[in-house]
Structure 1
Amino acid sequence: MTGMIETWIKNERQERLFQKATAIADEAKKHIQETDQQAAFSPQTLQVIKEEGYPSLALPPQDGGEGLSLYELLLLQEKIAEGDGSVALSIGWHMGTMMELSQEELWEPASYNRLVQEVVSSQKVVNRAATEPSTGSPTRGGIPETTAVKRDGRYVLSGRKSFTSMAEHLDYYIVSAYMEDKDSVGWFMIDRHQPGLSVEQTWDTLGMRGTASHDLVMNEVELNEDDLVELKQEGKPSPKGWLLHIPACYLGIAVAARNDAVAFAKEFQPNSLDKPIAEVPHIQDKIGEMEWKLMQAHAYLYSVARKWDEEPEKRKHMGPDLGAVKLAVTNTANEVVDLAMRIAGGRGLSKTYPFEKYYRDVRAGLHNPPMDDAVVSMLAKHAVSDDQ
C-alpha cells in the first residue's frame, strides 16, 4: 500500500530527501515503548538523525545545507511523525530555527556562522528555550522572568525554562532573558556544558512524552557578551512559515493511526462474523471519513506551503493562512485519530495496540502555537479590517 504522504513526492530530489526521513522514522518506531514510558528521547534515534545529516538540511547550499523548501520540510517532518510524533516535533524545532535564522538574518554574521559551522560539520542540534512556568507560551506576549544581569563585562543568567524539547540532548540552547541594562528581551546561545546549567526532569505529561521536554534551569550562568546573539524585534512579528512543522507533525500521527486502523480492520474477524470488520458498513463509513478528512488536510497544508515557496512577495501577508492551516490540520488530525480509535473499539484502549498513544499524542497539537482562540480572533479581525 502506497502511503498517503508518499503521494506528495514530486521529484527525485524529494525522493532522496524523503529516504532520510524514512530512516529516522523507522529508527524512532523501534524505541516508542521505552521513550513513552520513560518520558525520554532516544539517543539511538538522535544518532540516526545526525548520521543522515538531517540537522543541516534546512540551511542554504552556500552554508552547507540542502536549502529545504517549506514544502520539503513538511514532507519530511510528516514522515518522521508517522514513525513517532515526539521525534518529529522535537527535531522540527531545530529545523525551523535553522530555516528562520538563515532566511530572516536575525543574527550578526559572526554569531550565525559560528553556529552554522557546527551544525554542518558536526550536525549539532539546537532549540530555543522561551516558555516559562509563570509566563506560559511566549506567543501570548509575557516578559521572561529569566534575567540577564551585566556584571564585570559579562552577562549572568538565572531562571527556568519549561517545555524544552530534547532538553538533555541539545548541543546548544538559545535562551530568552530580560536584560536589565537594555530594558529589553535578548536571546543568548548557551553551550550545554556551561557551568550553572542543568536539566530538571519534570516532563510528566499525557502525550508527546518522548519529546522529553524537561525544564532547563540556569543558576548564575556566566556568558560572554558575544553569547548575546539576538534582541527582541520591535513591532508586529513577521509570519513564520516554518511553524507549519507543527501541523505536519500531527498530520503524520493521524496518517499512522489511519494506516494501523485500516490494517486492523482488514485483519480482525470476530467469531460473530464470517468476514473481517473492514467489510462491515459502519466500519467502512469510518474508514471513508478518515480518508476524506486526510485528503482535505493534506491538500490545504501543502497548498499553503507551495504558496509560501513560490510567492515569497506574499509572505508578509500570510499570517492568516498559516494560522488557519494549523488550526484546521491539528483539529482534523484529532478527528482522524478518534475515528481510528472507534474502528479499533475497546482494543484501542489497550497498550498492546498503538492507538491509545496516537490518541494521547495528537491532543498535544491543540496546545502548540498558535492556539485556536488566537487564530479565530486573528481571522475575525482580518475579515473586518480595511487591509484586505
Structure 2
Amino acid sequence: MSGVFDPASILPDDLLDRIRERAAVHDRDNTFPQDDLDELTAAGYLAILVPTELGGAGLGLAEASLLQQRLAGAAPATALAINMHLVWTGVAKVLADRGIDDLTFVQAGAAAGEVFAFGISEAGNDLVLFGSDTDAAPQPDGGYAFTGTKIFTSLAPVWTQLGLHGLDTTSPGAPKLVYAFVPRTEAVVTRGDWDTVGMRGTQSRTTELHGAVAPADRVVRRVPPGPTPDPIVFGIFSVFELLLASVYTGIARRALDLAVETANKRPSKKTGRSYAQDPDIRWRIAEMALAYDALPPQIEALCRAVDEVAPTDARWFSYMSGVKHRAVTTAKSVVDEAVLVAGGSSYFSRSELGRLYRDVLAGLFHPSDPESAHSTVAAAWLGPAED
C-alpha cells in the first residue's frame, strides 16, 4: 500500500465504542459476540487481507496488525476470535505473494462471507504444526476423512470452514501430514465446554471430528511430519505469531491508556493533587510505556518482511516465536502495573481492567508457549541440544 494507513478508516471510533460496550456483556454472559462479527463483516473486515481483484481490501500483514491492535483495545476476545480467520486469509496471501495459488478459494470465500476457523491445536500435542493425533484417512476421490479432537477452536458457533491438519498413515509415501478444510456437517461436533477465566467471547470450544470429509479440492498440502521448509508451515507460523502478538500488544496499549486516564482523574487525599503528579505513579506508568513502546516497531518490521517477500534466514522461526513471547509477557506485565495504578476498583469483575487482567492470561497458552519459544531461540543461538 502507498501512503500512511489509518486504521480508523476501517475501524472508526463509533464502531469500536459499540464493540467495547458489548465486550463486558459477552464476558459476563459467556456468549459469542455475534453483533461484533456482523458489523465487522459489513465493514469488510473478514476480507482485509484479500486482494482487491477478489473483492477484498488488499491490505498487507502490517496494516492488518495495526487493525488487530486497535480492535483488541476495544474487545480482546473479539479480536482473538477474528484472528483465527485472519490467519488463514493471511496464509493465503503469503502463498499467493510467492506464486502459490493453493488457497485462492480461502480468499474468494472470505470475500463472499465465509468464516474460516483454525483447527490445529490438540490436547497434549506439543509438536503442533509438526505432528497430529488426528487421523486423516484418504478417500477414493482424493479427499480425506478426519477423525480426532481439536481444542481451542475459536469462532466455534459460526465458522463455515475449518482449516485443520491430520496424519495420513496409509497412503504410499506415508506418513504425511495433511492440511485441508472441512465444512460444518453432522460429522463435526462442537462441545459446549467453553467456560474459562478470560477471553470468553472467543467461544473457542472443543471440536470432535467423526470422519469429517475434506473434498479433494480442499486438500491443500501433504508434507512429512516434523520440521519442513514447506511454505504452508512458514505461512501459518509467521502469520499466527505476528497476529497473536498484535492482539496482545493492543491489550497492553489499552491497559496503558486506562492507567493514564485513571492517574489523571484519581485524586490523592494526601497531596490534593491527581495521582498523575505522584512520583511513584509516574515512574510506574513510565515503566509501562517503556515496555509497550518497543512492541509495535518490532511487529511492524517483521510484518513488512513477510509482506515484501524478504529473504529469511535460519533464525526466522526464533524471530516469530520471540516477538509473540515478548508481546504476551509484556502485555501481562503492563496490565499488572495498570491494575496497581487503578487500585482496588480494578479487582471487580465489572472493571475493564479486571477483564483485561483475565484476558491477557490466555496469551501464555498460545503457541509458541514460553518453553517452546525458549527452546527455539536457544537452538538458533546455541545449535540443537545434544541427545
For this structure pair, what is the TM-score category when the shorter chain's length is used for normalisation? 0.7 to 0.9
Q: Take 1:65 and 1:252, find their aligned partners in 2: how far apart are those partners?
A: 24
> Any idea what SS the aligned residue of 2:79 has?
helix
| Higher mean C-alpha deviation, range 268-277 or range 291-300 | 268-277
Q: 1:307, CA displacement in angstroms?
A: 3.9
| Higher mean C-alpha deviation, range 316-325 or range 209-218 | 316-325
> Any idea what SS the aligned residue of 1:203 has?
coil
2:116/2:160 contact within 8 Å kept:
yes
| Higher mean C-alpha deviation, range 268-277 or range 44-53 | 268-277
> Any idea what SS the aligned residue of 2:11 has?
helix
Whether 1:51 aligns to 2:42 is yes
Q: Take 1:327 and 1:135, find their aligned partners in 2: how far apart are those partners?
A: 19
1:146/1:160 contact within 8 Å kept:
no
Whether 1:84 aligns to 2:82 is no
Deviations 1:205-249 (A, max 9, x none): 222111110011223434543343332356244364322111110
Whether 1:173 aligns to 2:169 is no
Q: Which runs of 5+ in 2 are unaligned?
A: none
Superposition RMSD in Å: 2.8
In structure 2, which of residues 115, 121, 125 is the aligned counterpart of residue 135 of structure 1? 125
2:9 — aligned with what? 19
| Higher mean C-alpha deviation, range 151-160 or range 47-56 | 151-160
How many residues align? The count is 372
Within-5 A mapping of 1:173-212: 173-182=162-171, 183=174, 184-192=176-184, 194-212=185-203
1:129/1:176 contact within 8 Å kept:
yes
Paired letter, 1:373: E
**Do the aligned partners of residues 98 and 315 (structure 1) sit closer, same or farther apart at CA in structure 2, a change above 3 Å counting?**
farther
**Do the aligned partners of residues 114 and 246 (structure 1) sit closer, same or farther apart at CA in structure 2, a change above 3 Å counting?**
closer
In structure 1, which of residues 113, 121, 126 is the aligned counterpart of residue 116 of structure 2? 126
In structure 2, which of residues 108, 116, 124 is the aligned counterpart of residue 117 of structure 1? 108
Paired letter, 2:119: A
> Any idea what SS the aligned residue of 1:50 has?
helix
TM-score with structure 1 length normalisation?
0.86
1:150/1:181 contact within 8 Å kept:
no
Q: Which runs of 5+ in 1 are unaligned?
A: 1-8
Q: 1:107, CA displacement in angstroms?
A: 11
Q: 1:74, CA displacement in angstroms?
A: 1.0
1:250/1:333 contact within 8 Å kept:
yes
2:147 — aligned with what? 158
In structure 1, which of residues 281, 284, 298 is the aligned counterpart of residue 282 of structure 2? 284
In structure 1, which of residues 65, 75, 97 is the aligned counterpart of residue 88 of structure 2? 97
Q: Take 2:2 and 2:107, find their aligned partners in 1: how far apart are those partners?
A: 29
> Any idea what SS the aligned residue of 1:219 has?
strand
Paired letter, 2:180: F
Q: Take 2:270 and 2:329, find their aligned partners in 1: how far apart are those partners?
A: 35
Paired letter, 2:147: S
Q: Take 1:133 and 1:359, find their aligned partners in 2: how far apart are those partners?
A: 25
2:88/2:106 contact within 8 Å kept:
no
**Do the aligned partners of residues 314 and 175 (structure 1) sit closer, same or farther apart at CA in structure 2, a change above 3 Å counting?**
closer
1:300 — aligned with what? 298
Paired letter, 2:67: L
1:132/1:144 contact within 8 Å kept:
yes
Whether 1:345 aligns to 2:329 is no
Q: 1:376, CA displacement in angstroms?
A: 2.1
Whether 1:61 aligns to 2:59 is no
